[in-house]
Amino acid sequence: MAIPGLYVALALLPVLLGLLRPLHSSNVFPFGPASDSSSPRLLLLTAHPDDETFFFGPTLTSLIPSSGVSLSPSPTHSNSVPFAFPHVYSLCFSVGNADGLGYERRRELQDSLDVLGVAEDKRWVLDKNEFQDNITAMWNASLIAATVYDFISDHDISIILTFDSYGVSGHPNHYSLYHGVSQLLAMPPASFKYPLAAYSLTSKSVVTKYIGIMAPILAKLKMTFSSVLQLTGRGTETGSPDLPVQPIFVAGIGGYYRAVLATLQHRSQRAWFRWLYMVFSQYLWVNEWERIHATVDVKTL
Ligand SMILES: *[C@@H]1O[C@H](CO)[C@@H](O)[C@H](O)[C@H]1NC(C)=O
Ligand SMILES: *[C@@H]1O[C@H](CO)[C@@H](O)[C@H](O)[C@H]1NC(C)=O
């Protein structure tokens, strides 16, 4: 009995490995032409050290080639249009000092960004009174907008990624960033050197949040299904090439491993439930994005 079982397992192995390759939707962010000189600059906005790996791993590992890989579109992105790798910047709004561990957590964030491959001159951590790690505090959206505005102006950023209006876990610091970016987008287009596009990470319901390795498999089925619908002209997506709809990044086994390694850099945060999170969370496998729209300016109504 054991031998046939072994053969079946061996036969299924390539299928499994095939399922665990990285994949992204053909629509990603508006990266523009794929030439090195015009590599777009993309900013990840987070609230606390460890957000970058806990929630945004699949996107970061897809957008940043692992060290040693030359900067060319990755051949592992099967079934999808290759993109020019963007320059990835990271701005974390706090040192995560809610438990007085801010000093250590700032260092852990650096180690994690090393693993993920965000360059040292492209990362910043704020430690301001207005933006302290606090699970009951909303941060001021106008202040966030002003802070991000200065940052993207200084660094020629054209794409911002952050949390959505629920903020994955319902943490007000997370969704404050969403509201801040939404206000930023309400500024007159002439304020920006480059047209600005922003995206939010889609929060999942409790039911689908912890499906672990099923997440990449289901996401790929969904992507295949929707591309079939599009081919047959029955797709419901109405995106133009300039305005991609709901980009999706699915990590492969390598990307997942890199995200886990990065998560392990957050030594002060290790606890048994974090291990469970790494095994079961779908955010280590799949990131789905939605375009952020500008806040309607109440004063002009
Ligand atoms: C957290 O924010 C609340 C207000 O939302 C405030 O009352 C409380 O003092 C803050 N906690 C700390 C430690 O600053
Ligand atoms: C947020 O900050 C702005 C600019 O500093 C200020 O005018 C506004 O009153 C603040 N809003 C709240 C709710 O504190």
Whole-angstrom distance, CA of residue 252 vs CA of residue 18: 9
Q: What are the pLDDT digits (tens) for 150-176?
A: 999 999 999 999 999 999 999 999 999
Q: What are the pLDDT digits (tens) for 54-81?
A: 999 999 999 998 764 444 444 444 445 5
Q: Is 74 exposed, middle or buried (0-12, 13-18, 19+ CB in 10 A)?
A: middle
pLDDT of residue 88: 95
pLDDT of residue 46: 98
Q: Are the CB atoms for 200 and 292 separated by under 8 Å? A: yes
Q: Which ligand is nearest to the CA of 173?
A: 1
Which atom of ligand 1 is closest in space to residue 98's alpha carbon? 13
Which atom of ligand 1 is closest in space to residue 172's alpha carbon? 5
Which atom of ligand 2 is closest in space to residue 140's alpha carbon? 1
| Residue 192, CA distances (Å) to 151, 179, 187 in order | 12, 18, 9
Which atom of ligand 2 is closest in space to residue 143's alpha carbon? 2
pLDDT of residue 241: 45
Residues touching ligand 1 (Cβ under 6 Å) are 132, 134, 136-137
Spans of the chain, pLDDT less than 70? 1-2, 18, 32-38, 67-83, 233-245, 297-301
Q: Is the pTM of the predicted complex or chain greater than 0.85? A: yes
The residue whose CA is least distant from atom 4 of ligand 1 is 137
CATH T-level topology, domain 39-291 = Rossmann fold (3.40.50)
Which atom of ligand 2 is closest in space to residue 141's alpha carbon? 1
Q: How many C-alpha atoms does 113 have within 13 Å on its Cβ side?
A: 24
Whole-angstrom distance, CA of residue 172 vs CA of residue 4: 53
CA of 140 to the centre of ligand 2 (A): 6
Report whether residue 143 contacts ligand 2, using a CB cutoff of 6 Å.
Answer: yes
The residue whose CA is least distant from atom 5 of ligand 1 is 137
The residue whose CA is least distant from atom 10 of ligand 2 is 140
Tell me the domain boundaries of the chain: 39-291
Which of 136, 139, 173 gets mutated to test ligand 1 (max ligand atoms within 8 A of its CB)?
136
